[in-house]
A and B are shown apart, each in its own frame.
Chain A
Amino acid sequence: MPHAPKLAICNVRHAFGANRVLDDVSLDIAPGEFVCILGASGCGKSTLFNAVSGLLRIDSGAITLDGTDIMGKPGYVGYMLQKDLLLPWRTALDNIVLGAALTRGVTREDRAQAADLARRYGLGEYLDHYPGAMSGGMRQRIALMRTIAAGRELMLLDEPFGALDSQTRLAMQKWLLEIWSGLKRTVLFVTHDIDEAFFLADRVVVMLPRPGRIARILHVDLPRPRDIACMASPAFMALKAEALSLLYGGPDPSASMSGAA
């Protein structure tokens, strides 16, 4: 890797009782990189996510951001879930500036910047809308704007589009890539959707359950900017086939693991 890693996850282990959810997970993420963690439920991806966010203290291992230990310390990374968690009594704009409201109070400048950001990414019409009046896709866009406005260089996204219908999800994925390429932030994106992972990521980390571990890291060398059409390309298909065989077993000459089903 050309740079020192933005995020370094070293030998992370964690168990809930007798259940080993993370077993020796190590992963470095470069600045500006887009990494997807792909796995079925129970593979520990959400545990890993909570560990990196600082909400969960892991049993052993190290997690550093720009060399600083961030274990058990919330507030260093941006964070977004499948639930948009917008506050219904705040307008879209007020939800975007929530980070400032919670830390030091919102200034006129915060609002102006948030409005600029929202306008740049096509949300200008919704600034003074309440979340209750917006569609699921629109709400997730506002939630992402809130994450961006919080100003963290690393953003964790945990299945942010999981609750959306497939049409909206595709539009959201394209929109996210557009934002990511404009902002140069580092993204760690958790998903169980194979297409989503390869469409978005520079690298896809395939995880397996019981115990949660990394099966393989796949490099996605598809040119950017990516279009929906690339999802039908042979390179995409080859990656998808490899992920499928890793996740569900089956014929894979290079597979080091036994075909777990």
Chain B
Amino acid sequence: MTRAHPLLVRCGFWLLAMGLVLALWQAVVMIAHVPPYIVPTPVETIAELIRHAGQSGALLWQTFSETIAGYLLGAAIGIVLAVAMSEIRLFGRLAYPALVTSQAIPIVGIAAPLVIVFGFGMTPKLIIVAWIVFFPVVVNVMDGLARVDPDQINLARLLGGSAWRTFLIVRLPACLGPLFSGLKIGASYAVTGAVIGEWTASSKMGLGTYLLSANAQMNTVGVYGAMMLMTLIGVGSFSALVGLEYMATPWTHRSTAPRWLTRLRGAPRSDHKE
């Protein structure tokens, strides 16, 4: 009775969905005889990316590293802020309106002053990505912390739990689900942040800068290639998070603790029915 692992099944559907989109794109362009300088086919675009694999790889790496670094920064700030805002009530009340306001400023509007302050290096890009990513994380984690059952907290008090241990053992794990929701939303927006960062401030060529210059040179295949790679970063980080969430929350899809976990902790295992 071999059944496909549920994660594999999900992966399969993802690949199938993306394959269908690409096939549709290919079919429309071919049937309507759209010239390649207006819209190239995906086959042409991918072939072009492979032909210039070295350059594609370098561009991908540049934008990917901006995205991931800014993302990690934003996620970390988001978690710390959420905890601080939930635990220190006055701070939370003061900071919440400020956070909401921060998201009301158009991100392009933030980019320019950041360049004036930090110059053309990595810093403004990191800040832009983090700016976008931290918000869904803060909101979701705060929500998770607020929703812990008060009876659960009472129980921890009655068991003699210190505030710190109660936080670590009872409250923090309860936010894991909401945290991952926030992280997944952030992952799909993070690339946009990196690209906007490159458009306003770049000393190094990334996918965003490349896209602008390809566009200026009427290099349509190049534009589509850059777009495809940006999408790949977004979809890739989202999928990585889905996998990470799956690993980090075994109780949501398993009835028993994974064997490696019980072994790692030296916990006695269940008896088995004969």
Contact = CB atoms under 8 A, between A and B. Distances in A.
B266 interface: yes
Interface string B37-48: 000000000000
A17 to B, nearest CB: 20
A230 interface: no
Interface residues of B, number: 35
B264 to A, nearest CB: 12
A128 B165 contact: no
Contacts of B106: none
A99 B257 contact: no
Interface stretch (A8-16, A85-93, A214-222): A85-93
B267 A119 contact: no
A181 B266 CA distance: 31
Interface in A155-174: none
B20 interface: no
Contact of B255 (A53, A85, A93, A129): A129
B268 A99 contact: no
B269 interface: yes
B77 interface: no
A89 B154 contact: no
A242 interface: no
A228 interface: no
A124 B165 CA distance: 28
B270 A79 contact: no
A112 interface: yes
Contact of B158 (A75, A83, A133): A75
Contacts of A83: 149, 151
A125 B166 CA distance: 28
A54 to B, nearest CB: 7
Given A91-B267, A112-B268, A125-B273, A81 B151 contact: yes
A133 to B, nearest CB: 3
A53 B273 CA distance: 39
A85 B271 contact: no
Contacts of A128: 256-257, 262, 267, 269-270
Given A81-B151, A89-B249, A103-B165, A129 B256 contact: yes
Contacts of A51: none
A103 to B, nearest CB: 5
Interface of A: 53-55, 74-75, 77-79, 81, 83, 85, 87-89, 91, 93-94, 98-99, 101-103, 108, 111-112, 115, 119, 124-133, 150
